[in-house]
Structure 1
Amino acid sequence: AGVGERTREGTDLFIEMGETMIDENTSVLDKAALVFGQMDEPPGTRMRVALSALTMA
């Protein structure tokens, strides 16, 4: 969950990814995984988001 401007930016990104097509029947969201971390967590915890994303890739 985000607050204010961050929520809007996340929603805009999600909508834009859904509208962007890779080919005729496939949107970017069909081939993407999004990993999120909370900004109120310590730096080490936030770093794990990047490691999780690398593992998923």
Structure 2
Amino acid sequence: MFYDAPFKLCLDHFGAERILWSVDYPYVRRDNAWDYLANFGLEEAVLQAIAYANAERLYGI
């Protein structure tokens, strides 16, 4: 369900500061999507940005 090449392409092209973590519920389980992201090998700061910090910045919270 998850593919490394497109995700890496988005990271390289747009940068981690422009990516938000989300799932296509109910078609994709949250746990599966989170496991993929957490095990992708991202630096902790990049993982935090994608997981929640970018959304906090976007929504001003």
Structure 2-normalised TM-score?
A: 0.30
Mark the structure with the bigger radius of gyration.
Answer: 1
Structure 1-normalised TM-score?
A: 0.31
User: Larger strand proportion, structure 1 or 2?
Assistant: 1
User: Larger helix proportion, structure 1 or 2?
Assistant: 2
Which fold has the larger relative contact order, with Cα–Cα distance below 8 Å and residues 6 or more apart in sequence?
2
